Structure 1
Amino acid sequence: MDLGLTGRTVLVTGASSGVGLATTRMLLAEGANVAACARDAERLKTALDGLPGNLHLGACDVLDRDCVQEFVERSAERFGGIDGVVNNAGRSLMARLAETEDRQWRDELELKIFSVLHVVRAAQPWLRESTAASVVNINAILARQPEARLAATSAARAALLNLSKTLAGELAADDIRVNSVCLGLIDTGQWRRRYERSGSTAEFSEWSAELAADRGIPLGRLGTADEVAFPIVALLSPRASYLTGTALDVGGGIARYL
């Protein structure tokens, strides 16, 4: 199926690994122009080196408003506009309520909210001119189903989900769609690092299967970055033109809410 992304320009944050990297690859395969950024320029270049397609790379800290503005302007100049944005930059703080300092609460809220606001505000003039403008915010099932071991992250994710709904309503008048993709446990570098720190003598596949069982994932495994990238790319497509304000779960059935 032709998703109608050929020649369209999509900006992806946090593109050097995991979901951001997989999304960038998939967009390029669909014929899209991709403006990809991450904080570490060398890591980004190494991850995307040799990929076919129209690619613009840049080092960018999404919490630095001026840096974001500059990267967005350069990307729009390079490709003649911006049609889509994937807000993927983020992290999780593994800490219970009593273990989380006030500074960490503020850091989590700032990252989850302003990493999206800075990019959307900067890209909005070009999105307004697009015939198929779409923003996809990468979130987590934690937004609706808090995890005690991720107290601050769960709360910040809920705030982002609320913000995304507000953005969908506010930007609809400019024909800019805003949707969320909410992740469960995905096999990315974050979980690989936790596996390495665990000291487990089991293979990662066994360790992750035990993790999936402990967390109650019906499909019995972690997801992959490519399995997340597909719905992201689909939501960016003009074929999804009547979808806005939605939150799509990609979690192997882990969500318990209706």
Structure 2
Amino acid sequence: MDLGFTGRTVLVTGGSSGVGRATVRMLLDEGAQVATCGRRPEPLAALGDHDRLHTAVCDIRDPEAVRRLVDGVQDRFGGLDGLVNNAGQSRMKPFAACTTADWRDELELKFDGVLNPLHAALPLLRASDAPAVVNVNAVLAREPSPRLITTSAARAGLLNLSKSLSRELAPDGIRVNSVCLGLVDTGQWERRHRAEGGPLDYDRWQAVLAADRGIALGRLGRAEEVAYAVTGLLSPRASYITGTSIDVCGGIGRGI
């Protein structure tokens, strides 16, 4: 199926690794013009040269840097049709170990990582005939973990924000949806497996991990499996879908 990306431009934040990189590559394969950013130049350079790819070093917590990024996208491609807010990370700390700075940093990263790109991109998105925003979130938003208390709280707030944005931006024709991840293998789990140096090979090791975490499909997810959901929601073919979220988690969620 043609997803309708030919001639359209999408900005993916945090596109130098993991889910962001998989999404960038999938969008390029679908014929889109793609812009992406990261905090370090080397991983961005590893994406390679492509006549439909624009890369820039940018910290999405800096509104002026994000505005320069979006200006560069407009100069290169002439507009913007889609925005994927993907940049982010998890903070493995329980409440007793969290400082005020930990809470502030986590909330700033999760919210600024959406608000700064959206503020900068809104004029271009409003000019598109099929604008869409996808916020990459986590199942922690609905099922918090005490081991990730700051991240869980920030993720819940981001899910709430995404729903509110979908209502406010609907009159402009801008769709806003979320993709919520479970445990996805973007390289960090394999590194952990090597560091532990146990007797199990990686496939068996991740099966044990999946069983411990209650993942129904018995394995970790893959970055490209998340990218399929992100790309589908961005597509003009999904023109009647807004204000919703899709869990890509292998059945780890216990809620209905």
Class of the TM-score when normalised by the shorter of the 2 chains: over 0.9
1:134 to 132, 135, 150: 132
Runs of 4 or more consecutive aligned structure 1 residues displaced over 4 Å after TM superposition:
none
How far did residue 106 of structure 1 move?
1.0
User: Structure 1 regions of 5+ residues with no counterpart?
Assistant: none
Match of 1:206 in 2: 204
How far did residue 120 of structure 1 move?
0.4
For the residues of structure 1 that align with 2:199 and 2:16, how far apart are their CA atoms? 29
The structure-2 alpha-carbon separation of the partners of 1:43 and 1:250, relative to structure 1 and needing over 3 Å to count, comes to same
Identity %: 60
Aligned: 1:112 with 2:110: yes
User: What secondary structure sits across from 1:62 in the alignment?
Assistant: coil
Aligned: 1:152 with 2:150: yes
For the residues of structure 1 that align with 2:16 and 2:66, how far apart are their CA atoms? 16
Letter of the 1:18 partner, please give it: G
User: What secondary structure sits across from 1:37 in the alignment?
Assistant: strand
Match of 2:44 in 1: 44
How far did residue 96 of structure 1 move?
1.4
**CA distances 1:148-199 after superposition (whole Å, capped 9, x unpaired):** 1111110110011011111111111110000000000001133234334444
Moved more, 189-198 or 65-74: 189-198
How far did residue 41 of structure 1 move?
1.3
Q: Report if the CA contact (8 A) 1:17-1:189 is conserved.
A: no
User: What secondary structure sits across from 1:15 in the alignment?
Assistant: coil
Letter of the 1:20 partner, please give it: G
For the residues of structure 2 that align with 1:44 and 1:148, how far apart are their CA atoms? 34
Match of 2:185 in 1: 187
User: What secondary structure sits across from 1:255 in the alignment?
Assistant: coil
Letter of the 1:29 partner, please give it: D
Letter of the 1:223 partner, please give it: G
Match of 1:223 in 2: 221
1:237 to 235, 252, 256: 235
For the residues of structure 1 that align with 2:163 and 2:248, how far apart are their CA atoms? 18
Letter of the 1:227 partner, please give it: E
The structure-2 alpha-carbon separation of the partners of 1:193 and 1:111, relative to structure 1 and needing over 3 Å to count, comes to farther
For the residues of structure 1 that align with 2:160 and 2:119, how far apart are their CA atoms? 17
Aligned-pair Cα RMSD in Å:
1.2
